[in-house]
A and B are shown apart, each in its own frame.
Chain A
Amino acid sequence: MDGRVEASPVGPARVEDAPSEAPRDISGLVRELRGVVGDEWVYTAEHQLRTYESDGLLQYHATPACAVLPGTAEEVQAIVRSCAREQVAWVARGAGSGLSGGALPIENGVLIVLTRMKRILEIDLDNGRVCVEPGVTNANVSAAVGPGFFYPPDPSSQIVCSIGGNVAENSGGAHCFKYGFTTNYVTGLELVLADGTMMVIGGYELDPPGYDLLGAFVGSEGTLGVATKIWLRVVPSPETVKTLVAFFDSTHAAGEAVSRIVQGGVVPGAIEMMDARTIEASEQMAHAGYPVGRAAALLVELDGSVQECEARFDEVVGICEQCGSDDVRVARDEAERALFWKTRKAAFPAMGRISPNYFVQDGVIPRTKLPEVLERIEQLGEEYGLIVANVFHAGDGNLHPLVCYDGRVEGEAQKAEELSGLILDACLDAGGSITGEHGVGVDKKKHMPKMFAEEDLDAFQRLRCAFDPAGLANPGKVMPTPRLCGEVPGPYRVHPLEAAGLAERF
């Protein structure tokens, strides 16, 4: 996930893509929910619901029948149980900063807002764990265990985005090339399944017996249930951090530097690239003294032991220079480092200064395909007469092309959207993916069949049905077309061989 899209697109409201429930009277259910959480935590008035009609992706909006704000896991369970009984679909929502419409409400459904559940329940640094409620913000986890420890996944929206949302989306961030994603840090979950069952999988310890339900749940975009308690692994903060920004005359040269840095055996904490348009926009906002007009900026950060960083940093500077950079700036102190990062993280909001509206994409490509894919994107931009700014996590090949357009010009939003789709096609042609960290949600589900065959989607559905056979948890997301679960193939029978029962032998 990245920053909130602040330039509000005024393109066509495509609510037809938004999942909806057939309108029916659920006032009885709403009354019941008021009983569960208290009157003041159930919103039904239009002005109250407006806050929740979209997530970070503003072009989709839908109005739920009500928004419920539970304060405890038991309340969440009671809400879900009531919805199950009434067969009313629901969506769980954290901070609402997601960029794929994953937390888009269901028209006439129930929205469960978890922002009140923001307690840090336990910190156990000897065992490198914290246990938190889903509404805790990403940044607050690191704050709670710092400065000695930190929580590595760091989406750009980390100040607002919640851990529950991170779990749903398997959030990454700038440092995940070295440190991994949310899924690599979740060691336990307390879940409420769509039938109202509560269960705990994992916890402080690794490798609970049985299938890796944690691995299946993290990144499932709210479609398998809702997490009410989350155990996370935290790690010691690196001894030192060294950061540089190098400017290049072409994105090609910067891409070459990335390849050579990584192939040299260095695993940097982060490598981020911005193109000319992004540099220009970000500079207007962050005033870091970046040279507007240069074709590419590469931000490289090494962290770890002092010896290793010292040894590697000179190597990285050398590579940047060999690849044609005549302007390598090394952060002299924490303030300068913060400024480098502020400039990078300003990329999305800053774009609002050079374009009234934009769509942000989240494609992934094998890193070596960077030059040809960038060329293709450039070409597409020219064909469509639209500006495409590029900012990306270069280490792991995760591109965030920003397709700029003016929503006041008739037809331009559609054109921009079409172009966005073609960019994803280019990523897929290169052997990549339609989403690296924003998720499929409602926004990219139409692209799923390009990446996955019918058999693959069917296998996904098997997983979904095992958790939520009734299809009440965040329906209409991820999968390109609505599917029902159908009967489980044959009732579960005790196999004759089970008499001997040899489980737990692995």
Chain B
Amino acid sequence: MQEAARLLKGFEKPVRPVGGATKPWLPAREEEPLETGGLDRVLEHNVGDFTAVLEAGVPFADAQKAFAEHGQRLAWDPPDPGGATIGGIVASADSGPLRHRYGGVRDLVVGINVVLSDGTIAKAGGKVIKNVAGYDLAKLFAGSMGTLGLIAAVSVRLHPLPDQTATVVIEHTNPDHLLEEVLKLARRPLEADKFDVVWTGGHGRILMEFSGASALDQAGQVGNVRDVDWDDVRGMQRGEVVIKVSGRPTDLPKVIRAADDHGGTVVSRAALGLSWIALQNAEGVAGIRAALGPRNCVVLDGVSEAAEPAPGQEVMERLKARFDPARIFRPGVYVGGI
């Protein structure tokens, strides 16, 4: 961390923090890579407290394996081709099906250490799971895509690793009927860990995973229990061109039809209203955006386009100016050209 601070102070060329380099679509410009591979220590795993302190370069899979030995997990499950790091996941706020129950990346980060472009090393939060002292900089940095500074370490909250899980699959071919069932399920007091819808080639499936001592019983109340490969499900968040739709649960039929019209597939966190449409190429992007407006459709992959400012743009620009005074952390790549 001190090394990074020394390096950054007085640095003038643009830099990009790089973890496992598992997100190859991020525009690589004339930026010096700032590799986090050296920050690879699990600083603490407080088993009894269900917390851990991890350096940014720790491979997510390694950390998860270490937690599992104690019957615990960090309840993140983003698509990971192998090598995704803690820092990279926080910086990109990349989430998977477990978000249904445990919230997004930011919801499990309880503390953060960052290195800023003027060499400042700062921390916020702590390592206890409940804490309101000071500003929540961890949330600000989660999803900041490396544009505010280097995430050097985070403290996270852990959860028990369930000894049993069971997944229900419900098939549908009509998007409207599919939504009806989704809404009915979403209103029931079910405590599912995951609640996704996948749609490919005119065929849809509702997938709900239950966990805990009574996982099978809970699942049995909803439908037929089947084997589901969740790696395939979260893998649908990746593709040649992927559009992430920030919608509402009730938008689902529209999202499905927009994808169908352009030969795309859909995976949706059904109760959260977040969907990923994967396309073969960029041709359908404009059409899908037009169909789903005014919902935010963010392109994850393969397309360059004009920078559009977002609500709060001015505040975001001031944040950038304050946290990255040298303007070297990936300048120009963030919303509205930040």
Contacts and interface: CB of A to CB of B under 8 A. Distances in A.
A206 B299 contact: no
B46 interface: yes
11 contacts: A169-B132, A199-B312, A210-B312, A210-B313, A238-B191, A265-B71, A266-B160, A307-B217, A396-B129, A466-B318, A503-B307
Nearest to A398: B130
Nearest to A469: B318
A304 to B, nearest CB: 5
A453 B212 CA distance: 42
A505 B136 contact: no
Contact of A490 (B71, B162, B304, B321): B321
Contact of A505 (B120, B129, B274, B304): B304
B322 A458 contact: no
Interface in B266-323: 271-274, 295-296, 298-300, 303-308, 310-323
Given A208-B311, A451-B126, A435 B189 contact: no
Given A364-B131, A451-B133, A505-B303, A213 B312 contact: yes
Contacts of B234: none
Given A210-B310, A365-B128, A451-B134, A308 B212 contact: yes
A205 B273 contact: yes
Interface in A392-438: 393, 396-398, 431-438
B130 A437 contact: yes
Interface in A177-192: 177, 180-181, 183-184
Contact of B246 (A205, A262, A438, A490): A205
B129 to A, nearest CB: 5
A417 B218 CA distance: 51
Contacts of A444: 133
A239 B217 CA distance: 14
A318 interface: no
A220 to B, nearest CB: 6
A205 B248 contact: yes
Contacts of A482: none
A460 B122 CA distance: 9
A497 B14 contact: yes
A127 to B, nearest CB: 4
A335 B201 CA distance: 53
Contacts, number: 336
A180 B53 CA distance: 20
A456 interface: yes
A308 B137 contact: no
B103 interface: yes
B307 A180 contact: no
Contact of A127 (B103, B107, B273, B296): B273
B235 interface: no
Contact of A219 (B27, B132, B310): B132
A465 B131 contact: no
A148 interface: yes
Interface in A350-401: 364-368, 393, 396-398
Nearest to B145: A506
Interface of A: 124-129, 148, 169-170, 172, 176-177, 180-181, 183-184, 193, 197, 199-201, 204-216, 218-220, 236-239, 259, 262-263, 265-267, 304-305, 307-308, 310-312, 364-368, 393, 396-398, 431-440, 444, 448, 451-453, 455-460, 462-467, 469, 478, 488-490, 492-495, 497-498, 500-506
Nearest to B183: A126
A100 to B, nearest CB: 9
A204 B248 contact: yes
Given A126-B250, A169-B132, A265-B160, A501 B321 contact: no
Given A489-B322, A504-B305, A209 B310 contact: yes
B129 A465 contact: no
Given A209-B310, A210-B313, A495-B332, A436 B131 contact: yes
Contacts of B123: 452-453, 456
Contacts of B49: 366-368, 397
Contacts of B272: 206
Contacts of A180: 103, 107
Contacts of A124: 248
Most chain A beta-carbon contacts within 10 A, residue among B50, B143, B311, B314: B311
Contact of A208 (B246, B304, B321, B322): B246
B164 to A, nearest CB: 10
B47 to A, nearest CB: 8
Contacts of A435: 131-133
B312 A311 contact: no
Given A455-B122, A501-B307, A503-B338, A220 B321 contact: no
A433 B307 contact: no
Nearest to B149: A459
A436 B132 contact: yes
**Which 9 A-B residue pairings sit nearest by Cβ, starting from the closest?**
A215-B139, A503-B307, A489-B325, A459-B122, A307-B214, A498-B332, A501-B307, A462-B322, A368-B48
